[in-house]
Amino acid sequence: MTSKSNRIKLWEENCPVLKDSKFLQNYQLYEEIIGEGSFGTVIRAKCRCSQKLRAIKAIRRINKVDMLTIELELLSELGGHFNIVKLYDFFHFNGSVAIVLEYFPHCAATELLYHSKSDDKFALLYIRNLLTAVSYLHQNGYVHRDIKLSNFLYSHKTRSFRLVDFGLATIDRSKNEMSRNAAASAMCREGPCTVCDGFGTPCMFCGKKPKRENVHIVGTPGVRAPEILFGIGLCNPAIDIFSCGIVLLSLVSLKHPFFMPKDETENIYHLAFLLGSESIENMGRLEGLRVTLSEKLPPADYYHLVMSLRHGFQYMRMNFTPKKCQLCHKRSYNNPTGVCFCRENYQTNMFYTGENDKDIMTLYVDLLYRALEPDRFKRYTADQLLCVIESFDRRHNYVPKPLSNRDDD
């Protein structure tokens, strides 16, 4: 084996378990870092006994033992089934940890966009498999909390998938949350916000009323559900569904990452771009939070938005002749004629926005509206979204019987 890279040497020096004799007796490290997750780095290795490749998730220091315990319990119980990565072994030494997982060669995120561009049915294959894994997690009482393109791997060679990186996973504790009615009642008893006087941009002080426990916002910026940004529903399966919606939006619009917010405030505005500022404010009100956005944005029509990003605004202007919109001209790149992708009404034009109910883009739009629902209690579950896909399959594959004038047919 060639001399090890500086990065591998650094990891061996700072992660004692990688030099522990028990680990070295069983596994041989290669100098290839596969990826970096929430709490560790994944390194390629070989099992000395079976001679098969493995992925070693190395964690230098255990900051939260309970989260590691949940990850190991989850993988021990569910790993190897329904697109969940398989767990093989576990080592710990001097505060550091090595989790041995199956090695899964996979496409980069940019390659996923290429597959989606060349085959408009690829996103359906991807999201169906992702929802299958998420449904399996939720049915067994777990929440992933970091669903994104780089955490749901795809092998073009085997056409198979794996959900990885459970460093932020937790147990579904949604039944222990404060009820929304209680939170809303507490907000009514509070006086108006003295910081922004109702003219936030948005005002995070409004967002902190009524007083809630201090939490660290989890997940990756740009794919978080709106409630996560306000410290609500941190252990609710609905947050995974919203992230699945952003993943699907990235795939079908060929834009990854779809959002790159620099902070939580910008993340809220990005979501207002999709959901509309009124939806964000209403969502906060239902949760007992005063959220005020100074810029009023209408919700996006996902069909026009996806088609504009996938094919270009010129294509939309030539084929759909949408109305011109100065707001859409300002809030989108390379849209000189102001092709409009606003949704005129919050409640109408939400489903079947395409002209053909057998058009696969219509299916994607239906899934987006249901997965990116601002109200987490109205957001579809993974099983419900899979039912939407199955319904489309039945419509798409339906072949009517030939007409006959015989009464005994």
The three-class DSSP label of residue 252 is helix
Predicted confidence at residue 257, as pLDDT, reads 92
Angle between helices 382-397 and 360-371 (to 10 degrees): 160
The closest alpha carbon to 146, from 126, 133, 165, belongs to 165
Residues within the annotated binding site?
Answer: 57
Q: Which tens digit of pLDDT belongs to each residue from 297-322?
A: 899 989 889 998 998 888 887 877 66
Question: pLDDT (tens digit, 9 = 90+) per residue, 341-388?
Answer: 888 765 544 555 444 556 889 899 999 999 999 999 999 999 999 999
Q: Is 138 helix (H, G, I), strand (E, B) or coil?
A: helix
Whose CA is closest to 132, among 162, 106, 88?
A: 162
- Kindly state the helix (H) or strand (E) to which residue 137 belongs, with its residue range: helix 122-139
CA distance 42 to 274: 34
**Where does the chain hold its CATH 1.10.510.10 domain(s)?**
109-397
Specify the pLDDT at position 170: 93
Q: Per-residue pLDDT tens for 78-103?
A: 999 999 999 999 999 888 899 999 99
Check: CB of residue 283 under 8 Å from CB of residue 375. Answer: yes
User: Which residues are part of a known binding site for ATP?
Assistant: 57
d(CA 281, CA 288): 11
Contact 13, 29 (CB under 8 A): no
Q: Decide: helix, strand or coil at residue 345.
A: coil
CB environment 16-47: b (16+ within 10 A), e (fewer)? bbbebeebeebbebbeeebbebbbbbbbbbeb
Topology given in CATH for the domain delimited by 24-102: Phosphorylase Kinase; domain 1 (3.30.200)
For residue 130, the cross-strand partners are none
Nearest to 370, CA basis, from 259, 272, 285, 248: 248
Domain boundaries for CATH 3.30.200.20 within the chain: 24-102
Which overall architecture, per CATH, does domain 109-397 show? Answer: Orthogonal Bundle (1.10)
pTM over 0.85: yes
